[in-house]
Structure 1
Amino acid sequence: MLHAAVEAFAQDGYQGCSLARIASEVGLSQAGLLHHFPTKEDLLAAVLDERDRLDTRRFLADGAEGIDVLAALEKLVEYNTYLTGMVQSFTVLAGESTADLHPARDWFQNRYDNVREMIAAELRTGVERGEIRADTDCEGIAAELVATIDGLQLQWLLAPKKIDMPALFRQYTSRLRNAIST
Structure 2
Amino acid sequence: MSVEVQRGYAKGRAKRREIIDQAMALFGEVGYRGASLREIAARCGISHPGLLHHFPTKESLLLAVLEHRDEVDIAWVGLDQTDGVVTLRRLVELVELNAGRRNIVELYAVLSAEATSAEHPAHGFFVERYQTSVGAAVAAYRQAGDAGQLRPEVDPEVAGRQLIAVMDGMQVQWLLDGGRTDMIGAVRALVSSHLTIEL
Match of 1:31 among 49, 54, 63: 49
Deviations 1:92-146 (A, max 9, x none): 1001001120000010000100111112112111222222245532122111101
**How many matched pairs?**
180
Q: Against the structure 1 CA distance between its residues 170 and 163, is the aligned structure 2 distance closer, same or farther, given a 3 Å change threshold?
A: same
Point out where structure 2 has 5 or more consecutive residues left out of the alignment: 1-18
TM-score in terms of structure 2 length: 0.83
SS at match of 2:189: helix
Q: 5+ residue gaps in structure 1?
A: none
2:34 is aligned, of 4, 16, 33, to 16
What TM-score, normalized by structure 1, do the two folds share? Answer: 0.90
* Counterpart in the other structure of 2:140: 122
- Corresponding position of 2:168: 150
CA separation of 1:62 and 1:170: change in aligned 2, threshold 3 A: farther
RMSD over aligned Cα atoms: 2.1
Output one character per residue of 1:17-70: Cα deviation in whole Å (capped at 9) or x when no partner.
100000100001111111111110000001101111121111118947223332
Match of 2:114 among 84, 96, 106: 96
Matched-pair identity in %: 38
Query: What is the distance in 1 between the residues matched to 2:190 and 2:150?
Result: 16
Q: Distance in 2 between matches of 1:169 and 1:140?
A: 15
In structure 1, how many angstroms separate the alpha carbons of the residues matched to 2:82 and 2:112? 26
Q: Which runs of 4+ in 1 moved over 6 A?
A: none
Amino acid corresponding to residue 116 of structure 1 in structure 2? V
* Residue of structure 1 equivalent to 2:91: 73
> Is the CA contact (8 Å cut-off) linking 1:66 and 1:131 kept in structure 2?
no
Contact preservation (8 Å) 2:83, 2:140: yes
Kept in 1, the 8 Å contact 2:82–2:143? The answer is no
> Which residue in 2 is equivalent to 1:164?
182
**C-alpha distance in 2, partners of 1:49/1:22?**
18
Q: Counterpart of 1:4?
A: 22
Greater relative contact order: 1 or 2 (C-alpha under 8 angstroms, separation 6 or more)? 1
Query: Contact between 1:9 and 1:17, CA under 8 Å: does it hold in 2?
Result: yes
